[in-house]
Amino acid sequence: MKFLLIEDNTELAKAIATRMQLDGHVVDHTATIAEALAYARTEDYDLILLDIMLPDGDGRDFLAQQRAEQRDTPVIALTARSQVSDRISLLDLGADDYVTKPFDHAELQARCRAVLRRKSGSAQTLIKLADVEFDPIAGYLSVAGKSVALRNRELRLLELFINSPGQIFSKQKLFDRLFSADVDVSENAIEVYVGRLRKHLDPSRLSITTHRGLGYRLDHE
C-alpha cells in the first residue's frame, strides 16, 4: 500500500513513517499543503494521512482542494484538538475518519483498514498462495475452495505471514502487530492465535511452523 503522510512535526512524522514501513507500506512524507497537493497530483495513493495544523494553512483547506479536484483518495485526519465539533467539520469536509493525537498505531492501522475496506472495489487486494485465497482488506479467506470466517486478530496475523512467506517472525513482532502497545498481556497470548490460524489452514498446503527460540514461519508444502 502507498500512503501519503502530511505532518509538519518531523519527529512524529518519522515515527509514523517508520512504523508504517515496518508494516510493509510505502510512505511519502511532506510537511506543507503546497507540497502535498503536488504529491497528490502526481502520485496515486491508497490513503492520505493528514495533520490539521500545518505551517502553510489548515489541513481542511487541503481536503477541500482535494475534493474540488475530484480526487477521492481516502483521507484520515490526524488531529490534536479535542473539540467534538472540530471532528464533525472534518468529516463534513470529506475526511473519511480521524484519529486524535496521541494515537495507538494499532488503532491507526485498524482505521486505515476500515477506511480501505469501505472504499474497496477500487483496489483489488486478493492474494493467492497455493490453494489459499486471502483478501486482507475485505477480510476474506478461502482455504482449499472453502471460505473461512476469520476474527480480526487472526486476520492481521495471517496478513503478516502471507505477505512474507518463508520469513521467521519473532513472538514479539507478532505480538506488537496484534496488540495495542498499552495492553498488559503476556506475550504468550500469541500462541493462542497462532494455534487458531493453524487450525484454519489445516486443510491447505500451507502450514505455520515453530522455530524454537526464533519464532514462527509460514511454510509452503
Contacts with another protein, residue ranges (CB under 8 A): 9, 11-12, 15-16, 18-19, 22, 53, 80-86, 97, 100-107, 110-111, 113-114, 151-153, 170, 172-173, 176, 180-182, 184, 187
Q: How far apart are the C-alpha atoms of 158 and 87, rounded to whole Å?
A: 33
By the 8 A CB rule, do 31 and 25 touch?
A: no
Rg value, the chain, Cα: 19
Q: How far apart are the C-alpha atoms of 188 and 170, rounded to whole Å?
A: 12
Q: Tell me the residue type at 19.
A: R
**Shortest approach of another protein to residue 76 CB, angstroms?**
10
Taking the least distance from each CB to another protein, the nearer of 37 and 105 is 105
**Shortest approach of another protein to residue 95 CB, angstroms?**
12
Which residues lie closer than 8 Å to 102 by C-beta, 6 or more apart? Answer: none
Q: Determine the 3-state secondary structure of 220 from DSSP.
A: strand
Taking the least distance from each CB to another protein, the nearer of 2 and 118 is 118
Residue with cell 489548515: 58
**Shortest approach of another protein to residue 51 CB, angstroms?**
9
**Shortest approach of another protein to residue 90 CB, angstroms?**
12
